[in-house]
Structure 1
């Protein structure tokens, strides 16, 4: 089915696709050499931010240096739902074939997610009395089977392949039956946890033909949700080692864990330090994950992002703690992933479709990739549907369209799929930056105009994302160092009234420079072909 890219008018009212029974509505990340210089210069430029419109008097100069390399980009993702719900009467399909197809296309083709953590529920009761013997009939495979059939398989056609299995150790709900066992027989408890993880991996290998590359082992285990109820850093390390050893014993040697995904950067660092201090546990780690909370903090609240980073004044403490995480991970050559952010249910600062949502999250992505050197950025969920929303928030008077931290909202009532502000922001990166690209140095001489650059040797391309946080049209001069370009520069932009609008091809001034004018409060993605890639 042909999906039209629709736009919003200046009142942020979405146009409808009347000719379709189902339509997709598109409503709407340099190492810190010295943190102080960033903050001080940012303050100077922030003073020039005004509410008027017009053209910035002085052109902005951007220097891209191909010889200065940073992290390899894994991609962009979200916790993965499939529009299904496990009930007492079995698995319930919340979307239906047509609407699910449109949602998958919007999330994995249009936005371009390649990463995810598949939400699986496997063992609400012990399968048997022997943790060394997996009783397949003692596990619930309905969710994993449906996740594969209804989402992973169709999304694979759009490039969704680098997902993790969400085999999270949640002692509050699904695995609460292990609580008593942990107190009574700790060694046996660790064996049961390892069996749970191994069973999920082996079943997935059975239905797909391959073991997953990653497992999401925890979600806020000691903070936030506190899902490892009664847990400790010592117990987290024990679980990692026990599950890792079991997987190797089962012949799964390459799968790695994404840990610990605590509520905040600081709390994640606290847990990470214990994990990395244990050589055995460290050998099983594929990525170090963190969340960008608490609610209303500098990178959770859309309004606070715009008041700080969006004014050239990123929060001092948030930058410093991300620098600390960056250096800690770099010492062990393990990538860093930001795996969850959200304003929180019913806490939206701006209406759904507001351009502020897009620009704020584009700033957030930029800052996580630059200050934390993150290799991956996740939204909350890939898709969230109205029926699940109504059931989950029953009686809490939380509007469906206040949920702006998921990539797409699926409205069964109107048979429509809406890409959110964070979805459009992620798309400005995911549609242009291929997994495996390297972030290279990009310096703008105006802190209100952010630029981040990536080089893909596989695609032989340079990709740039430009965020103009000023209220003025800006002339920009791009100068390349240690690289050369050829052909034309292509791109797309979003502003107050457009989403992913294609730019006319830009002509190079020479093979190392080009010029571009960007509109006020806009986000622009660019790409150009390299003559001599790194």
Structure 2
């Protein structure tokens, strides 16, 4: 039998231990310390009627693909882009039959366009898809070629440059100039052939001047590789060449293996040359592991854009590689199922828009992970509680003036982007309880205050580039006569730029210089022939 003194000491020890484990988690946000500019969230793409979507091969005919109506497709698009707020699309091309096979001729400087086939999912179906999602908020779209033509070798980069130029020109001719183009998907993976950094470098040095001569401003995404190890080796070779480097718009890698050391090396390479880092393909079978993966690449490795494997795919994909699972019987579409990864992605994508800057965020607890972002007056704070029990968290805000109220949205084992009650911020601080195994986003009301009006579009195909830093172009695809008025307002409705142009029954591209505007979200309004169109415009320099 224990003595009373021993029992008392035991009780005190237990109480002290309980107090230790019950301590609140502290999170500090400091908007004065700023890191990378975000480029958005997106997915890779196979088109709806690709037979591969429902378990067929990429070479199967269109009759073997999914039978789905345009209205049903629109429902999926609304979920991904209007609701989830995705702003990026990465078409997966190159496994769908040859675009140029055999070689059009033996001279890469003389091109026979009749020998190029862009039909269906080789390219044109992807262009059509992009035309439907731009009005839904997509700002970045870049094809990534899984396989190039079988007759191409490392000895003839001139032929690749001719081939890639014709692909990029196809997009341009259809009204959608590519801001970015991925040279080769996963050049370190045997499926598409192993392509060294020297070959990619030479292809870029040949392709870039062709684009310049045609007045096309597409930048290259390199090397879009399996992992950071493969990517770093190739990126060094490419960026060491000043000519090739001048055409590079983003450094990209996937997360199939690879070391953290080379993720850091990729981040440092991007910082050295002022080029953003993108994570362009990955998924996790566990949704909250996926949420932690998003946090990890953004917070620890300076990634500016995150692309999930697939936005939608058939029900045979059961390991979370798709955000929305398409259900079917035979080739007939029967509905969809939203995977938990959709909601976890939304905790970021709905509230962290292109142009937002990551700001300092520190947690006192390694299992409560936080990232924070600022976009003008907008702020969003994303917190993962990886504990198996709830945690009380005290937040301290610095450099975020005039925030008195925050809203919150949460996804947990039992919640899916559930809106929570308003949170009062007093003296730049607030406290809340985070449930076990949850992800919560705190944001201020102004985040969603800019409202677009895309439905009355009187003939504006695209506003590009968006985000913009120097010049934004309004492209008109209908013929107009008379005055067209363009106004840009900030999120508070204040007019910051106005321009009037007179059109004489012509299709036009109207450039607008925006280099004097501060980083943030704006609304660009265009009036022509009594009709009005408005679109969000993101500025970041």
- TM-score interval w.r.t. the shorter chain? 0.7 to 0.9
- Larger deviation: 372-381 or 139-148? 139-148
Decide whether the 8 Å contact of 1:476 with 1:516 is kept in 2. Answer: yes
Query: Which residue number corresponds to residue 184 of structure 2?
Result: 218
Q: Among residues 239, 246, 255, which one is paired with 1:283 in the alignment?
A: 246
Deviation (angstroms), 1:89: 4.9
Decide whether the 8 Å contact of 1:111 with 1:431 is kept in 2. Answer: yes
Question: Is 1:177 aligned to 2:106, yes or no?
Answer: no
In the alignment, the residues of structure 1 paired with residue 305 and residue 71 of structure 2 have an alpha-carbon distance, to the nearest angstrom, of: 30
In the alignment, the residues of structure 1 paired with residue 360 and residue 396 of structure 2 have an alpha-carbon distance, to the nearest angstrom, of: 12
In the alignment, the residues of structure 2 paired with residue 407 and residue 365 of structure 1 have an alpha-carbon distance, to the nearest angstrom, of: 14
Q: Among residues 300, 308, 313, which one is paired with 1:371 in the alignment?
A: 300
In the alignment, the residues of structure 1 paired with residue 101 and residue 38 of structure 2 have an alpha-carbon distance, to the nearest angstrom, of: 36
TM (norm. structure 1) is 0.73
In the alignment, the residues of structure 2 paired with residue 107 and residue 336 of structure 1 have an alpha-carbon distance, to the nearest angstrom, of: 23
Decide whether the 8 Å contact of 1:169 with 1:228 is kept in 2. Answer: no
Question: Is 1:430 aligned to 2:328, yes or no?
Answer: no
Distance 1:90 1:474, change over 3 A: closer
Q: Among residues 444, 461, 466, which one is paired with 1:528 in the alignment?
A: 444
In the alignment, the residues of structure 2 paired with residue 125 and residue 423 of structure 1 have an alpha-carbon distance, to the nearest angstrom, of: 42
In the alignment, the residues of structure 2 paired with residue 84 and residue 138 of structure 1 have an alpha-carbon distance, to the nearest angstrom, of: 25
Distance 1:422 1:333, change over 3 A: same
In the alignment, the residues of structure 1 paired with residue 191 and residue 132 of structure 2 have an alpha-carbon distance, to the nearest angstrom, of: 34
Q: Among residues 367, 373, 396, which one is paired with 1:448 in the alignment?
A: 367
Deviation (angstroms), 1:263: 1.4
The structure carrying a bigger strand percent of its residues is: 2
Deviation (angstroms), 1:472: 1.8
Matches of residues 475-486 of structure 1 in structure 2 within 5 Å?
Answer: 475-486=392-403
In the alignment, the residues of structure 2 paired with residue 249 and residue 110 of structure 1 have an alpha-carbon distance, to the nearest angstrom, of: 40
Deviation (angstroms), 1:437: 0.2
Decide whether the 8 Å contact of 1:449 with 1:469 is kept in 2. Answer: yes
In the alignment, the residues of structure 2 paired with residue 507 and residue 236 of structure 1 have an alpha-carbon distance, to the nearest angstrom, of: 53
Query: Which residue number corresponds to residue 391 of structure 1?
Result: none
Q: Unaligned stretches of 5+ in structure 1?
A: 1-53, 298-316, 349-356, 387-399
In the alignment, the residues of structure 1 paired with residue 322 and residue 209 of structure 2 have an alpha-carbon distance, to the nearest angstrom, of: 35
Query: Which residue number corresponds to residue 483 of structure 2?
Result: none
Decide whether the 8 Å contact of 1:56 with 1:475 is kept in 2. Answer: no
Decide whether the 8 Å contact of 1:55 with 1:472 is kept in 2. Answer: no
Deviation (angstroms), 1:242: 1.3
Query: Which residue number corresponds to residue 378 of structure 2?
Result: 461
Query: Which residue number corresponds to residue 123 of structure 1?
Result: 100
Tell me, what secondary structure is at the counterpart of 2:403?
A: strand
- Larger deviation: 270-279 or 95-104? 95-104
Q: Deviations over 1:40-81 (max 9, x none)?
A: xxxxxxxxxxxxxx9961111111111111000001112122
Distance 1:280 1:226, change over 3 A: farther
In the alignment, the residues of structure 2 paired with residue 522 and residue 289 of structure 1 have an alpha-carbon distance, to the nearest angstrom, of: 29
Moved runs in structure 1, 4+ residues, more than 4 A?
86-93, 529-534
Q: Among residues 389, 412, 424, which one is paired with 1:507 in the alignment?
A: 424
In the alignment, the residues of structure 2 paired with residue 522 and residue 429 of structure 1 have an alpha-carbon distance, to the nearest angstrom, of: 13
Question: Is 1:146 aligned to 2:125, yes or no?
Answer: yes
Question: Is 1:271 aligned to 2:234, yes or no?
Answer: yes
Q: Unaligned stretches of 5+ in structure 2?
A: 1-18, 51-57, 447-491, 493-517, 521-541
Distance 1:471 1:56, change over 3 A: farther
Distance 1:449 1:90, change over 3 A: closer
Tell me, what secondary structure is at the counterpart of 2:307?
A: strand
Query: Which residue number corresponds to residue 200 of structure 1?
Result: 167
In the alignment, the residues of structure 2 paired with residue 92 and residue 437 of structure 1 have an alpha-carbon distance, to the nearest angstrom, of: 42
Count of equivalent residues: 416
Question: Is 1:324 aligned to 2:265, yes or no?
Answer: yes
Question: Is 1:232 aligned to 2:196, yes or no?
Answer: yes
Query: Which residue number corresponds to residue 318 of structure 2?
Result: 402
TM (norm. structure 2) is 0.72
Query: Which residue number corresponds to residue 245 of structure 1?
Result: 209
Deviation (angstroms), 1:471: 1.5
Decide whether the 8 Å contact of 2:146 with 2:186 is kept in 1. Answer: no
In the alignment, the residues of structure 2 paired with residue 160 and residue 72 of structure 1 have an alpha-carbon distance, to the nearest angstrom, of: 17
- Larger deviation: 76-85 or 515-524? 76-85
Tell me, what secondary structure is at the counterpart of 1:412?
A: strand
Matches of residues 33-44 of structure 1 in structure 2 within 5 Å?
Answer: none
Deviation (angstroms), 1:491: 1.7
Distance 1:381 1:333, change over 3 A: same
Matches of residues 18-33 of structure 1 in structure 2 within 5 Å?
Answer: none
Tell me, what secondary structure is at the counterpart of 1:491?
A: strand
Aligned-residue CA RMSD in angstroms?
Answer: 2.6
Distance 1:467 1:56, change over 3 A: farther
Distance 1:148 1:518, change over 3 A: same
Distance 1:88 1:453, change over 3 A: closer
